[in-house]
Amino acid sequence: MKNDSLIELRNVSKAFGTTRAVKDVSLEIERGAIHVLLGASGCGKTTVLRLIAGLEVPDSGEIWLNGERVAGQGAWAPPEARRIGMVFQDYALFPHMTVRQNVLFALSALNGKLSPAERERRARQMLEMVGLAQHLDRFPHQLSGGEQQRVALARALAPSPSVVLLDEPFSNLDAALRRSMREEVRQILRAANTTAIFVTHDQEEALSLADTVVIMRQGRIEQVGAPQEVYLRPANPEVAAFLGEANFIEGVAQGEVAHCALGTLPLASPMYGKVSLMIRPEALRLTASQEGNAEVIAIRFFGHDQLLQLRFPDETTLEVRTWGNAELALGEHVAVSVRGNVMAYQS
């Protein structure tokens, strides 16, 4: 276990009946960082979260927390011994308790360590940090969804946990509030200098929140890396397609370049032979030109940008994102170029 790692999973597996939810997962969680487990429903990400929390027991493998084995090889630390905070999808606030009482409840386990006055001070400090100091005596039903979520976060942070686990915390919020809450929660976690692990199926959410994205598929980890790395250099075509819009075109690689319908393109890594080239729609640049070898065959306007579909003489089609005010028309011919290097996968 590295010195800067807070949590380590070593070859962890978990099955429910005949369904293998987590398959031989190994992962290190860096201290003080925000990690996001990203994947489609049923990929195993919530099971990994529950294994870390001690709410599930691994069938095989080991889990280490703060340099101590907490599961596997005969070791077992129950959830209450792991000092882990959790924020649930439905917030799980006590409806009969005020905001202040909800946060104080999380501090009840520290009765022997903190005096009543210290617990009160800590609860107020946490609620001030999440911007709810003026709502101490309100009940959950008197708060908005975003405010309830901030109470849940304050409650999770109050006992100074080793790590905070957040399971789809924004799923019950509308789109506009989701965006603002993402940034608020990120700032709160930074201010608290807390290690956090999020679970989400939302790609934009993961890329905008994470220091490190962990992409899961069918119970396995497909790729771990910074948001820019996994988006621009996905490990395989499945990850590329899952993370966002992607064009795939056939080509032939010759070392550092590949030849395809777009011409000769620089590759991110040297390859040889038949390849599938992945190009993001926003990585393509268009110039209106009668000599251009691509024709605009469809335009979908979204206001801030538009999605164009192009067709090449060999019937290859590509999608391109451009500014919403780009003056291109159906049937127009365009010259196409690519920004940066292109990812290639062996065909």
The answer to whether the CB of 296 falls within 8 A of the CB of 330 is: yes
pLDDT value, residue 41:
94
pLDDT value, residue 2:
67
pLDDT value, residue 333:
95
From 179, 213, 241, give the residue that closes a domain: 241
What the block records as the tokens of 160 is 């100074």
* Residues 236 and 253 both lie in one domain: no
CATH classification at residue 337:
2.40.50.140
| Total of domains in the chain | 2
* Residues 103 and 128 both lie in one domain: yes
From 180, 207, 241, give the residue that closes a domain: 241
Sequence-ordered list of residues with C-beta below 8 angstroms from that of 176, at least 6 positions apart, any chain: none
The answer to whether the CB of 85 falls within 8 A of the CB of 116 is: no
From 217, 241, 265, give the residue that closes a domain: 241
* Residues 290 and 170 both lie in one domain: no
pLDDT value, residue 281:
97
One digit per residue, the tens of pLDDT, for the chain of length 347 reads: 666 899 999 999 999 999 999 999 999 999 999 999 999 999 999 999 999 999 999 999 999 999 999 999 999 999 989 999 999 888 899 999 999 999 999 998 776 788 889 999 999 999 999 999 999 999 999 999 999 999 999 999 999 999 999 999 988 888 888 888 899 889 989 988 999 999 999 999 999 999 999 999 999 999 999 999 999 999 999 999 999 999 999 999 999 999 999 999 999 999 999 999 999 999 999 998 988 989 999 999 998 899 999 999 999 999 999 987 778 899 999 999 999 999 999 99
CA 223 to chain centre: 12
* Residues 95 and 34 both lie in one domain: yes
pLDDT value, residue 105:
93
Q: Which structural domain, as residue segments, surrounds residue 309?
A: 245-346
* Residues 174 and 230 both lie in one domain: yes
303: left (phi over 0), alpha (psi -120 to 50) or beta: left
* Residues 169 and 317 both lie in one domain: no
pTM, to two decimals:
0.91
* Residues 134 and 224 both lie in one domain: yes
The answer to whether the CB of 209 falls within 8 A of the CB of 36 is: yes
* Residues 297 and 319 both lie in one domain: yes
> Given the DSSP bridges, would you call strands 195-200 and 34-38 parallel, antiparallel or unpaired?
parallel
CATH classification at residue 172:
3.40.50.300
* Residues 115 and 89 both lie in one domain: yes
Per-residue H/E/C for the chain: CCCCEEEEEEEEEEEECCEEEEEEEEEEEECCCEEEEECCCCCCHHHHHHHHHCCCCCCEEEEEECCEEEEECCEECCHHHCCEEEECCCCCCCCCCCHHHHHHHHCHHHCCCCCHHHHHHHHHHHHHHCCCHHHCCCCHHHCCHHHHHHHHHHHHHCCCCCEEEEECCCCCCCHHHHHHHHHHHHHHHHHHCCEEEEEECCHHHHHHHCCEEEEEECCEEEEEECHHHHHHCCCCHHHHHHHCCCEEEEEEEEEEEEEECCEEEEEEEEEEEEEEEEECHHHEEEEECCCCCEEEEEEEECCCEEEEEEECCCCCEEEEEEECCCCCCCCCEEEEEECCCEEEEEC
* Residues 56 and 142 both lie in one domain: yes
How many CB atoms within 10 Å of residue 2? 9
* Residues 250 and 330 both lie in one domain: yes
Cα 344 to Cα 121, 167, 253, 339: the distances in Å are: 56, 34, 8, 15
> Given the DSSP bridges, would you call strands 19-30 and 68-72 parallel, antiparallel or unpaired?
unpaired
* Residues 85 and 214 both lie in one domain: yes
pLDDT value, residue 326:
74
Cα 205 to Cα 37, 157, 169, 184, 244: the distances in Å are: 11, 21, 11, 13, 12
pLDDT value, residue 111:
66
